[in-house]
Structure 1
Amino acid sequence: MYSESEHTPQAIANRSYQVRIGQYLNEGWQIFSTQPAAYIGFLILATIINGVLNNIPGAGPIVSTILAGLFAAGYYFFGFRIARNQRPEFTNFFDAFKNNYFLPIFLTNLIVALITNIFVVSASVLFMIAGLPFFRGLLEQAAVEGAAPDEDIRELLTLLDQLPTLPDALTPILILAGAILLLPGIYFGVAYMFAVPLVVEHRFDVWPALETSRRLVSRDWWSFFFLNVSIIFFNTLGFCLCCLGMLVTIPWSTCVIVAAYRDIIGLMPTTDNTDSF
């Protein structure tokens, strides 16, 4: 347990640590299995709320996107209480909406999304442009092999014919440029993995949370990258199980990050033991 003076942004960014992926996966499961019904129930509730909002014309999708980030932070509020051996309440999932948490969490999520998506979306556009000749070839082959003319394919081919022809020599350049742009997006996506948890647990403001997470993670970025790859792998397995497995893997993923946070950064000292397990 670190003393209170060791929980400043500078002290955390310079923290000595070793990333233990297997340990975090196991401890994350222990945290999740303490309250599995609450985790799954909250995921279902949040999914229903976001689904309803997404179907409301106008501001519905925008509100849904904002709430999705706050709901995601709710897993950390709930998980950190379990990590402290305190008894969580279902209402802890909604703590992001109170105690001055709303704005810092919203802004942190917004900045992370903007920084990562600038690179990811730009790279995706270049990949799409580079892949247009290949896509056109697939459509032409489908049109030739089809038993009857397909109007949708014909309309797509007509649209593609109106676009400027891409020189063959430009395709590898676009792919290379897309790969170069994608790398910073991946870097920041991993580097900011502790940003929202730092707002939740240490109550850091937006910029200290972002920079502390980035500086800490960057010192052993590849280990955190493989931790994230492991989380993605298990979520992919959950998706393959008719998506039902994701009812477990999505909240469990946040528990893994809570476990990593507890080991590497440490939880803030507290004297609140009145509701311990």
Structure 2
Amino acid sequence: MDRGKLESIISKGVDFEIKDILTRGWETFRVNSMMHIGFTFLLMFVQFLFTFFMEDYLFIFTIFLAPALVTGFYLIANRISQQEFFDFPDYFHGFRYWLAVIIVNLISSILVVLGIFLFVIPAIYLLVSYMFCLLFTVFGGFEFWTSMELSRRLVSTNWFKFFLFGLVLLLINLAGILTLGVGLLFTIPWSYFSVYVLFEELTRDAVIVNSTSDDDHS
């Protein structure tokens, strides 16, 4: 991504329609939806195993596995956006960025936790502001602090709108939980795809090349 163009986007500010982003996120989910459901089931199953049978090692999943697995959703969304072929192993390409996504996820999470100790409001602010830090790391190729700051500054141009967007995603996933958790197989990928759609929409003008696939993320 072109840093100068990103700075221009941030300086101008951003806006978006939540309904439109969610609709496009759902359309992304509908492309080979059974494969998305299968990967989500696998992710949930692994988390279940760690939570209930390896509780003392849950940190392994949270710190070392989850960031790369979540990145898989974004990489698949990118392939769908570029109308590129993808298969089930492609969900695991997030591990190609393993160290980078671990670092940015860990540091941003630590800052959010520190925000909780400084009262809840700073934590909420940072939680929303760091919405795109993984995406800037993977598709922008930036190091962790630059990714976090670009995400924070971009979101801060219209923070309350992003907060509402995040709140809607939270409510969607709560509805998934209320269906005995089965609905999460749909709402989790839908949520991540919607975040990707929003990121792509806002940063489109800063992309240097036509394709931002996981093989070329400059």
Question: What TM-score comes out, normalization by structure 2 length?
Answer: 0.87
Aligned pairs for 1:63-212 (under 5 A) are 63-65=60-62, 66-98=64-96, 101-120=97-116, 122=117, 181-212=119-150
C-alpha distance in structure 1 between counterparts of 2:174 and 2:189, whole Å: 14
- List per-residue Cα deviations over 1:198-249 (Å, max 9, x = no partner): 1122222111110000011101100100001111111111111121111100
Q: Which moved more, 1:86-95 or 1:184-193?
A: 86-95
C-alpha distance in structure 2 between counterparts of 1:53 and 1:201, whole Å: 30
8 A contact 2:111–2:126 mirrored in 1: yes
8 A contact 1:237–1:245 mirrored in 2: yes
8 A contact 1:15–1:264 mirrored in 2: no
Aligned-CA RMSD value: 2.2
8 A contact 1:15–1:216 mirrored in 2: no
8 A contact 2:9–2:203 mirrored in 1: yes
8 A contact 1:25–1:256 mirrored in 2: yes
Report the count of equivalent residues: 209
Q: Which residue of 2 aligns with 1:33?
A: 30
What displacement does 1:259 show?
1.1
Structure showing the higher helix proportion among its residues: 2
Alignment-mate amino acid for residue 17 of structure 2: R
8 A contact 2:137–2:143 mirrored in 1: yes
What displacement does 1:188 show?
0.3
Alignment-mate amino acid for residue 197 of structure 2: A
Alignment-mate amino acid for residue 84 of structure 1: Q
What displacement does 1:53 show?
3.7
Q: Which residue of 1 aligns with 2:43?
A: 46
Question: What TM-score comes out, normalization by structure 1 length?
Answer: 0.69
C-alpha distance in structure 2 between counterparts of 1:89 and 1:237, whole Å: 29
What displacement does 1:271 show?
5.6
What displacement does 1:24 show?
0.2
8 A contact 2:133–2:148 mirrored in 1: yes
C-alpha distance in structure 2 between counterparts of 1:242 and 1:231, whole Å: 18
8 A contact 2:69–2:92 mirrored in 1: yes
Q: Which runs of 4+ in 1 moved over 6 A?
A: none
Q: Which residue of 2 aligns with 1:153?
A: none
What displacement does 1:76 show?
0.6
Q: Which residue of 2 aligns with 1:22?
A: 19
Q: Does 1:270 align with 2:201?
A: no
- List per-residue Cα deviations over 1:118-148 (Å, max 9, x = no partner): 223x3xxxxxxxxxxxxxxxxxxxxxxxxxx
* Secondary structure class of the residue paired with 1:193: helix
* Secondary structure class of the residue paired with 1:244: coil
* Secondary structure class of the residue paired with 2:181: coil
